[in-house]
Chain A
Amino acid sequence: NAGVTQTPKFQVLKTGQSMTLQCAQDMNHNSMYWYRQDPGMGLRLIYYSASEGTTDKGEVPNGYNVSRLNKREFSLRLESAAPSQTSVYFCASNPTGRETQYFGPGTRLLVL
């Protein structure tokens, strides 16, 4: 039981490049979330998915897209990376909305 896994662990992009961050959970959770963490700002919600087939915007969705591929996987895509998207990205999941969220180890993204 690996919990929440994220790939890659670290990525460097040039401005304008695209990439997809992958997240998978093996806990049969319904809800999944993407956050970004920036110094002095805590974690901010980018997108979330209440269940397979549904996604909704969070606090900072601009510049991102998501796909809930199936119940296990929730990917985050940057179509045209910008330096402002340099951050640490965390994926999380929980069984339903009111329960504890479990976090992955994070992906560190540097956009030059």
Chain B
Amino acid sequence: AQSVTQPDIHITVSEGASLELRCNYSYGATPYLFWYVQSPGQGLQLLLKYFSGDTLVQGIKGFEAEFKRSQSSFNLRKPSVHWSDAAEYFCAVGPSGGGATNKLIFGTGTLLAVQP
């Protein structure tokens, strides 16, 4: 069955520290991969996406993610966290094949807290 796993429900880091949020997926073929961020009371905003090509993708707000096919992972990283990064982060996968719609499967999210 297709699924996305975010093993860390909650992470706390100090401001200025590095960050890595984990995402593992189970999918029949090479999927499209996304990271979204949700600030409290807000909708989801796309941080970055991987469709093909270079497996290290850069996103907004200084985030990057690396697609590792052998590990079925798409971990999100940031070298230095800012207090404004406190939010919930969602990994999602979608079909890379044809079709008119992209039925995304979301992970359960990782809530990031940033200590001063």
Contact = CB atoms under 8 A, between A and B. Distances in A.
B43 A90 contact: yes
B12 interface: no
Contact of A100 (B46, B95, B99, B100): B46
Interface residues of A, number: 31
Contact of B44 (A30, A97, A103): A103
Interface in B88-103: 90, 92, 94-96, 99-103
Interface stretch (B14-22, B78-86, B105-113): B105-113
B49 A100 contact: yes
**Residue in A4, A56, A103 with the greatest tally of chain B CB atoms within 10 Å:** A103
B76 to A, nearest CB: 15
B32 interface: yes
Given A90-B43, A105-B43, A42 B108 contact: yes
Nearest to B32: A98
B108 A98 contact: no
Given A92-B44, A99-B102, 6 more contacts: A43-B44, A43-B104, A43-B106, A98-B51, A98-B94, A106-B42
Contacts, number: 66
Nearest to B34: A100
A105 B42 contact: yes
Given A31-B100, A97-B99, A100-B49, A44 B43 contact: no
Interface of B: 4, 9, 32, 34, 36, 42-46, 49, 51, 90, 92, 94-96, 99-104, 106-109
Contacts of B106: 35, 42-44
A31 B43 contact: no
Contact of A101 (B4, B42, B102, B109): B102
A104 B44 CA distance: 8
A101 B104 contact: yes
A71 B99 CA distance: 18
